[in-house]
Amino acid sequence: MSNLAGRPIVLVGMMGTGKTSVGRVIADRLGIDFHDLDQEVERRSGKAVATIFAEQGEEAFRALESDLLGEILSRANSPVVVSTGGGIVTIAKNREMLTDPTLNVVLLEASIDEILGRLSDDDVRPLLRGDRRSALESLWRSREADYRLVAKFVVQTNGLSVAEVAQAVLREIQVAA
Ligand code: S3P
């Protein structure tokens, strides 16, 4: 387990694929630190992600997100699990950080129908205004290649519980270790 837990585990994927919940379970199971980028951006800025988007724009949010990812990864010589926001791969600097071969980057995948079913009606994600299905389809189309570029592992999450996905992630990483 030390080999596996010694490398940072970074979860990427579309919103609604369970990155935060799964990341927390994996960190608990391995007894290592957990970082959720969205939550840490919110803590650091004192504002909700939706407020940052509304007041300062997406670019400002991406800058905060990128800085934080860099900080967490540069400190990650101790084992850690990092859950990223769905748009992390849209920034070249982030893709560069995430293709570091010493990271275990895992793409959590879910169908658009599955994601739509998981999101609550009052979800405040700023990029999901209007027609959610077409927003998600267009985000997936524009991001899929970059998710696949950074991911060392891909885990399908359709129909699986958080615990089952966490188990599947650990299995994938262990098989490769
Ligand atoms: C975003 C996903 C969100 C959050 C922000 C932007 C995106 O994170 O970072 O709303 O661009 O896909 P989750 O993937 O955790 O929902």
Task: Give the pLDDT score at 4.
Answer: 56
Q: Of residues 123 and 25, which shows the higher confidence score?
A: 25
Mutate to test the pocket of ligand 1, among 17, 37, 125 (most ligand atoms within 8 A of CB): 125
DSSP secondary-structure letter at 8?
A: P
Q: Of all atoms in ligand 1, which is nearest to the CA of residue 36?
A: 15
Q: Of all atoms in ligand 1, which is nearest to the CA of residue 37?
A: 9
Separation of CA 3 and ligand 1 centre (Å) = 30
Mean pLDDT of the chain: 93
Q: At residue 34, what are phi and psi to the nearest 5 degrees? A: -125, 135
Residue 32 has pLDDT above 80, yes or no: yes
Domains of the chain: 9-172 (3.40.50.300)
Digit-coded pLDDT (tens) for 65-120? 999 999 999 986 678 999 999 999 999 999 999 999 999 999 999 999 999 999 88
Separation of CA 15 and ligand 1 centre (Å) = 5
Give the pLDDT mean for 44-63: 96
Residue 1 has pLDDT above 50, yes or no: no
**Cα–Cα dist 148/154, whole Å:** 8
Q: Of all atoms in ligand 1, which is nearest to the CA of residue 19?
A: 15
Q: How confident is the model at residue 53 (pLDDT cuts 50, 70, 90)?
A: very high
Please give all residues whose beta carbon lies within 6 A of any atom in ligand 1, as ranges: 15, 19-20, 38, 49, 85-87, 125-127
Task: Give the pLDDT score at 124.
Answer: 75
Q: How confident is the model at residue 12 (pLDDT cuts 50, 70, 90)?
A: very high
Q: Of residues 2 and 89, which shows the higher confidence score?
A: 89
Separation of CA 1 and ligand 1 centre (Å) = 31
Q: Are 157 and 17 in contact (CB under 8 A)?
A: yes
Task: Give the pLDDT score at 120.
Answer: 83
DSSP character string of 85-137: PTTGGGSHHHHHHHT-TTSEEEEEE--HHHHHHHS-TT---GGG-S-HHHHHH
Digit-coded pLDDT (tens) for 147-167? 999 999 999 999 999 999 999
Give the pLDDT mean for 29-54: 96
Residue 19's SS3 state is: helix
